[in-house]
Amino acid sequence: MSSPRKTKTRRAPKVRKAVSSRRTPPRAKTTSRRTPPRAVAAIKPTAPSLDALPLVLFNYRYGGPNDHGFTYASGQSLELLGMKPEEMTRESSVLRLHPDDVGAFDDFVLRTMAAGETVDVHLRILHKDSTPRWVHFNAWPQKKIKKEWHYTGLMLDIDARKKVEAEQTAILERMEEAQDIAKLGWYDFNVKSRVLDLTNDFADSLGLPIAPGGRVTGEDADRYVQAFLNALHPEDRERYMSIIADESWRRIEFDYRVLTRTNEVRHLCSRIQRTADKSGKRVRDFAVILDITERKRLEEDLRAQAGTDPLTNVPNRRSFEAAARREVERARRYAKPFAVIALDIDFFKRVNDSHGHDIGDIVLKEMTKVCLAQLRLTDVLARLGGEEFAALLPETDIDAATKLAERLRVAVAAKPIGTTKGPLSITVSLGVAQFAPNESGVDSALKRADEALYEAKHSGRNKVIVAKLPSLVKSAGSKRS
C-alpha cells in the first residue's frame, strides 16, 4: 500500500544486473600450469544424461592474479563456450568475456578464489561467433596445495532465463506506460451543486448502479459517493477518508484497494485535481482512476522471486537479513528475546561427489521440508548458500532455541531421504545464539551461532552447540571443514 504523494507514479524497479559494471584496467594475461589428472576424476560425469545438460564441468587452479587457469573442462565446453576442452586448458587460454564483465571476473572471481571461498556469479561469455551468452559460473574450493587453491565447478547455460528476465522488465515498463494512457475510469464531483459525472464502466466494476448518461445529482450523488466509500478495502478506508478531508492540497496521487461486487481485491491509483474557492474550501474534485492491480501483482511476484531461494523455496540471505532487521527493532522496542540457529548439512560435498548434484538438490529440498515441519509459522528458515541454512526464532530465549535445534537435529537424522538411487541418511550440525541487547545487529548473533556450528563440526558433527554471550566470546580462527 503506497503512501500519498504529489509526484508521478514511480516506475517499477528494473531487474538488477548480476555482475558489476565498474570499469577496471585491462586484465593481465593469465598463465596456467597443468595439474595431475587426479583432480579431474572428482568431477568427470559418470551418468550419460549429464552430456545432454547445458553445463560445463571444470577444474580450476588459482596460484595468484597472474597464475591461474582451467586444468580440466568437460566436452560441453564447445557447445556452450565455443571452445574445445583442450583449448580451455592451454596455458595461454582464457575465457572470452563480455567487455562489461571483465571487471567482475578480475575483481570478484579471482579475489574470491584468492580467499579460498566459493564463487557464485553470472557472467557473459563471448561465443566463437562473438555473440554473448549468459552462464552461471559456480566454483567451490577442493584443497589448497602449498599456495595454490584447486577448485571444482560448473558453468550452466542461463542465457534463455536472462532473456526472459529482460523481456519481463520490458513488459513491466510497457504496462506502466499503458496504464498511464488506458484509464479505468474517471469522475467529476461538484461538491456545492452535488453533481457527479462518472464513467459507467468504473461504476459497474465496483457494483454500483449504472448512472443514466453518466450523471447523478442530489441525493443520488450522495448515495454514489457513499457506495464508493463502502467499496474501499477496510484497511484503506480511514487513510482514504483522511486524504479526501484534507483541504490543503490541490493535486494528489495515491494508491488504495477496493473490493468489487464479487469481493475481488483491486488496486487503484487516483490522480485528483481539486478546485477550491477563495477561502480555500473544496468545491470540485476531478479524478482519473487507474487499475494497477496487475502491476502490483507483478511487483509482488518480482519481490518474492528476489527474496526466495529457487531450489528450496525458502527465503534467501537477502530476505533473511531483512526479516532479522525487523526482529532486532521489535526486540529493542518491546524487550522481547529472539534467537538464531546456524545449520549445515554434514559431509554434503560427499553427497554431491558420490551421487551427483541432482541427488544433492533432492537432499537440500527434503531436508528443508523436515526442518519446516519442526518450526513455527512465525519462524524464518532461510538458505544462506550451498548447504548452509539459518533459522530466525522470534520471541525465543536460548533454552527454547536449544531445544528446538535439538528437535531439528533428531528429525533430520531420523528421516532417510528418498532419492532415485535409494534412501540416503544425512545429519546436520547446528549452532545456537541468542541476540543480546548490546549487539549492533543480528550479524553479531549469527556470527556467534556460526562459530558454535564450527565447534560442532570439529567435535564430531551431528551436534548442537550453544554460543556464549558476546561479553564471553573469544575470537575464533577455526574454519569449517
Burial of 198 by CB count in 10 Å (0-12 exposed, 13-18 middle, 19+ buried)? buried
Contacts of 130 (CB under 8 A, 6+ apart): none
Region of residue 182 (phi > 0: left; psi between -120 and 50: alpha; otherwise: beta): beta
- The answer to whether the CB of 343 falls within 8 A of the CB of 335 is no
Catalytic residue among 387, 388, 439, 451: 387
- The answer to whether the CB of 252 falls within 8 A of the CB of 272 is yes
- β strands within 48-128, DSSP E: 55-64, 67-73, 119-126
CA distances, 180 to each of 2, 54, 174, 177, 205 (Å): 17, 41, 10, 5, 19
Q: How many CB atoms lie within 10 A of CB 137?
A: 25
The type of residue at 411 is A
Q: What is the spatial distance between Cα 4 and Cα 184, in angstroms, rounded to a whole number?
A: 20
CA distances, 266 to each of 133, 260, 293 (Å): 40, 7, 6
Q: What is the spatial distance between Cα 154 and Cα 59, in angstroms, rounded to a whole number?
A: 9
466 φ, ψ (degrees, to nearest 5): -100, 130
Nearest C-alpha neighbor of 428 from the set 446, 448, 414, 442: 414
SS3 readout for 241-290: HHHHHCCCCCEEEEEEEEECCCCCEEEEEEEEEEEECCCCCEEEEEEEEE
Q: Name the residue with cell 474550501.
A: 281
Q: What is the spatial distance between Cα 386 and Cα 311, in angstroms, rounded to a whole number?
A: 11
Q: What is the spatial distance between Cα 345 and Cα 386, in angstroms, rounded to a whole number?
A: 9
Catalytic residue at 327?
A: no
- Catalytic residue IDs: 387
